[in-house]
Every structure is written in C-alpha cells, then in structure tokens.
Amino acid sequence: MDQLNNQTLVVFLSCMLLIWNIIVPQVEARAFFVFGDSLVDNGNNNYLATTARADNYPYGIDYPTHRATGRFSNGLNMPDLISEKIGSEPTLPYLSPELNGEALLNGANFASAGIGILNDTGIQFFNIIRITRQLQYFEQYQQRVSALIGDEETVRLVNEALILMTLGGNDFVNNYFLVPFSARSRQFRLPDYVVYLISEYRKILVNLYNLGARRVLVTGTGPIGCAPAELAQHSRNGECYGELLEAANLFNPQLAQLLSQLNSEIGADVFISANAFAMNMDFVSDPQAYGFATSKVACCGQGPYNGIGLCTPASNLCPDRDANVFWDPFHPSDRANRLIVDRFMVGSSEYMHPMNLSTIMLLDSKT
C-alpha cells in the first residue's frame, strides 16, 4: 500500500514537473540590445533622411520575405543570427513603429549605418543616430518599459540582457582614411588617433554599464583593408590595403586591453571581446577552405572587385550569394555572417575572450 502510494506520488510529481516545464520555460528568452553601425543596423536608417541605407533591391534578396529591410546583407545579419542562437525573436529597430507593448520586452536594436565612436565620423551621411544618441534612446527605452512592467522589473530585464556593440570601422573608413589629408589625419598620426578613439570608446562603454548593461559582446574591427571597396581603390594584385590593416592591428589589441581593464575595475566579466578580425581573416585568407569561391569580389556592386560605389538595382549581382564572403563592397554575406556568429557561440579564447556565447548562456542560466 505504502509502495503504491509512493509510486503514485512519483508519477504525480513527474506529471506536475512536465506541465510546469511546458507552462514556464526553464530558460526565459533574454532581452537583446544592439548598438553600433551598418554591420548590425537592422533598419533604423530606413526612418532617417540619410544616404546610408539598404532598403532597396537586391538587399534582402535571401531574407525570409525576400524584401530589403535595411539590413546590409543579402539575408540575415549578425544580430538576427545571435537572436536565433539565444532563442529569441529578432529585435526590432528602435525607430520602428511596431516596437510597442510586449515587443519592447524582447529588446531593441539602436544601431545606425555610418556611425562611429566619434561624432565627426560619417558626417557625409547627414542624419544618422550617433552613438551618444543611441545611448539616450536606450535610456528612453527603459522609461517606456518601466511604464509597462515597473522600475524594478525593468532593471532586471536590462541587467539580464545580452548586448552587442559593433563600432570603430567607420572611424577609419568614413573618417581618418575617407579622403587624403582628412582633418583627423592632419590632427593625429595613426597610432595617436587610435589612442584617442580608445579613450572615447571607454566613455561610451562606461556609460553603457551605468545604464545597466551587464553582458556586452564588443566586436573589434574586421579586416576592413581587405573589403572589395578598399581593393578597388588601393589594390593592384588583390592584396589588402596596408594602411587599414595597420589601423586594425593597432585598434583591436588596445580595445581588447580596454575591455579587460574595465572588467577588472568592475570586478566581473561584463565585457566580452569578440575578435572579428580573426573570425573574418580565416575566410579572407583561405575562402575555399570555408566553401567560398572568393573573398575579394563582392556579390553586388560594380567596377573592379565589384567594389566601386553602392549596391543598387543596377549593380552586377552574383548568381550564388553563398559563394562570396562579401555581399556588397563593405559587408559580409549572409553565409559569412553565419560562420562569424558560430564562432561567437563556440569559438576558442582566440576568438572570444574571456568566454564564448555558449559559456555565457550556461553561466547566466544558473544565476
């Protein structure tokens, strides 16, 4: 009799646990916030009077809707793929009118193509959301969410969120190296410019921490000197543009050092360094090893390497988008983004320091 009762109890408890698991997911999808430039913008610039936009064919040709969305990709971009990995819906652009009510709890994307660490980066694009403004919007976002779920829950949502920050490439491409004898290149030697950028970046990251960020993936700059746009302008035999490679080689280690320094000041691993340079360089230096036909020629563009001007409806378009590392003269293809985000997820410490995203998810699900 006793034994039967025990068995009944075990069966009953198992059923309850099963029902509990179905009703209350063990790992709640966490909110996701995105800050930065065109590598991570998913449509904010559609709402702005700017020339930095990706809202026309053939952008989005491989997106689920096959429409241009403002993402600088033929399909998905890094934030979409990170959302997939953490089991969340893709975040909406902060300026989207659909970002209201419940949708706010999923997070938001504040990124804007053309921006950099400095305010004078990307001035030729006119009306874009500079990084200080993105952070102001983050504050405004938190006020809106507070009205929905209260202050305490809002702080929790932000503290538990995953954040992606992708910044810095434009401070070289669309500032220092934009024209010969640019104002910044007359003001600074390259090594001193990098030191200045890092000191400004520090303020931005401290500000982000003060706004409640506790898990922030920070990407350094990729091998921008190897982008088809740079090859078209500077390369005779397909070699990468040395000055931009040097810029990345100066910037990335100092950024990684800054992140370690901030973590030790805070006393926690808040900032995670994602080595975008190494991740991209793998397939830039040996595209065939990763199933690409070329890392030099953009899929969409015109002129040498399809690297001149913008990707427009009138541009050349390659037949197999998965065969190209670069989709347009500056941005990786959907397939390259997938390989990059795989490294975010399970990369060794050479790629992700002090830990990769799968480790972060494991750690954060336990607290």
How many residues are listed for the chain in this entry? Answer: 367
Which is it for strands 107-109 and 32-36: parallel, antiparallel or unpaired?
parallel
Q: What is the dihedral of CA 83, 320, 284, 238, to 10 degrees?
A: -140
Contact pick of 96, 121, 275, 356 for ligand NAG (by CB under 6 A):
356
Contact pick of 124, 182, 263, 359 for ligand NAG (by CB under 6 A):
359
Residue 331: active-site member: yes
Nearer to ligand NAG, 211 or 355 (CB): 355
Contact pick of 183, 206, 266, 346 for ligand NAG (by CB under 6 A):
346
The least CB distance from residue 142 to ligand NAG, in Å, is 19
272 bridge partner residues: 217
Q: Which helix (H) or strand (E) holds 165?
A: strand 162-166
Asked if 348 interacts with ligand NAG (CB under 6 A), we say: yes
Nearer to ligand NAG, 226 or 360 (CB): 360
In whole angstroms, give the CA distance from residue 111 to residue 97. 16
What is the contact mask toward ligand NAG in residues 211 to 240, using x (rule: CB under 6 A)?
------------------------------
Residues whose CB falls within 8 Å of the CB of residue 293, separated by 6 or more in sequence, listed in order: 287, 320, 323, 324
In whole angstroms, give the CA distance from residue 15 to residue 293. 53
The least CB distance from residue 355 to ligand NAG, in Å, is 5
What's the Cα-to-Cα distance from 296 to each of 60, 95, 231, 276, 311, rounded to whole Å? 21, 34, 8, 18, 15
The least CB distance from residue 47 to ligand NAG, in Å, is 20
Residue 66: active-site member: no
What's the Cα-to-Cα distance from 253 to each of 152, 259, 273, 308, rounded to whole Å? 37, 10, 10, 30
Stretch 142-201 residues interacting with ligand NAG (CB under 6 A): 200
Nearer to ligand NAG, 263 or 358 (CB): 358
Stretch 96-135 residues interacting with ligand NAG (CB under 6 A): 118-119, 132
- Please answer whether residues 276 and 310 qualify as being in contact, where contact means their C-beta atoms are separated by less than 8 angstroms: no
The least CB distance from residue 300 to ligand NAG, in Å, is 33
Stretch 56-85 residues interacting with ligand NAG (CB under 6 A): none
Asked if 317 interacts with ligand NAG (CB under 6 A), we say: no
- Please answer whether residues 352 and 361 qualify as being in contact, where contact means their C-beta atoms are separated by less than 8 angstroms: no
- Please answer whether residues 328 and 298 qualify as being in contact, where contact means their C-beta atoms are separated by less than 8 angstroms: yes
The least CB distance from residue 349 to ligand NAG, in Å, is 6
Asked if 358 interacts with ligand NAG (CB under 6 A), we say: yes
Backbone angles phi, psi at 183, to 5 degrees: -55, -45
The active-site residue, picked from 273, 331, 334, 353, is 331
Residue 260: active-site member: no
SS3 call for 138: helix
From 13-21, 250-258, 334-342, 354-362, span contacting ligand NAG (CB under 6 A): 354-362
- Please answer whether residues 301 and 329 qualify as being in contact, where contact means their C-beta atoms are separated by less than 8 angstroms: yes
List of residues contacting ligand NAG (CB under 6 A): 118-119, 132, 200, 346, 348, 355-356, 358-359
The catalytic residue positions are 38, 328, 331
